[in-house]
């Protein structure tokens, strides 16, 4: 059962063996949440790839979520040439959909539903962009670094997007 406390975020993660986080940030006009450069010391190892993690959108509610997915779709289309070049140079791109909800009222309640318009999935596939969908229990709302160990994903409320992404 969806509540007014349900929240979401849409993040993007890019990794590359030669593009620096600064180049990625400038090309996409995004301020990163987290980065590291090739060769940077990461506790016991040196980074073999740069890492760039940014938030595209966050909010609450299914109608806001639909608008955010449209925004993400437009962002991917607007930056298609950079993303194609980035991927062509052995880069990796991943879109991350995070959802957070409180506990369900009754056992057996639907805890998660996500419909993504075919045009959106086509755009991701055409660009070779991965899609990760994560659910977090209330209190774990902040996005975690994608490669960090994490607790088992929590239950999430139904979000549905059926509108076209033109």
pLDDT digits (tens, 9 = 90+) for 50-108: 999 999 999 987 778 889 999 999 999 999 999 999 988 889 999 999 988 666 666 77
| pLDDT mean over 132-145 | 64
CA 43, 18, 33, 115 dihedral sign is negative
What is the sign, positive or negative, of the torsion defined by CA atoms of 82, 83, 86, 87?
negative
pLDDT of residue 100: 81
Tell me what the mean pLDDT of segment 21-28 comes to.
95
Q: Name which of 24-38, 59-73, 94-108, 119-133 the model is least confident about.
A: 94-108
Percentage with pLDDT > 70 across the chain: 73
Entry pTM:
0.75
In the DSSP assignment, the letter for residue 142 is S
Q: Name residues whose C-beta falls within 8 Å of residue 118's C-beta, 6 or more positions apart in sequence.
A: none
Instruction: Assess contact for 21 and 51: CB atoms under 8 A.
Output: yes
> How confident is the model at residue 58, as a pLDDT?
93
Mean pLDDT of the chain: 79
Share of the chain above pLDDT 90, in %: 45
Residue 151 makes CB contacts below 8 A (sequence gap 6+) with 140
**Predicted confidence (pLDDT) at residue 141 exceeds the cutoff of 60:** no
**Span 32-44, mean pLDDT?**
87
pLDDT at position 104: 67
């Amino acid at each position: 059962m969806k509540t007014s406390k349900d929240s979401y975020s849409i993040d993007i993660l890019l990794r590359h063996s030669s593009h620096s986080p600064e180049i990625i940030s400038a090309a996409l006009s995004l301020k990163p949440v987290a980065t590291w450069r090739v060769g940077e010391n990461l506790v016991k190892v040196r980074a073999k790839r740069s890492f760039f993690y940014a938030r595209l959108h966050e909010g609450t509610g299914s109608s806001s979520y639909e608008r955010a997915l449209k925004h993400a779709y437009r962002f991917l289309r607007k930056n298609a040439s950079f993303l194609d070049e980035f991927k062509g140079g052995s880069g990796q791109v991943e879109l991350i959909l995070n959802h957070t909800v409180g506990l369900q009222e009754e056992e057996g309640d639907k805890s998660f539903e996500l419909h993504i318009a075919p045009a959106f999935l086509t755009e991701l596939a055409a660009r070779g962009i991965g899609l990760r969908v994560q659910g977090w229990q209330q209190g774990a709302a902040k996005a975690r670094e994608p490669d960090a160990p994490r607790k088992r994903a929590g239950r999430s409320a139904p979000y549905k997007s059926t509108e076209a992404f033109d």
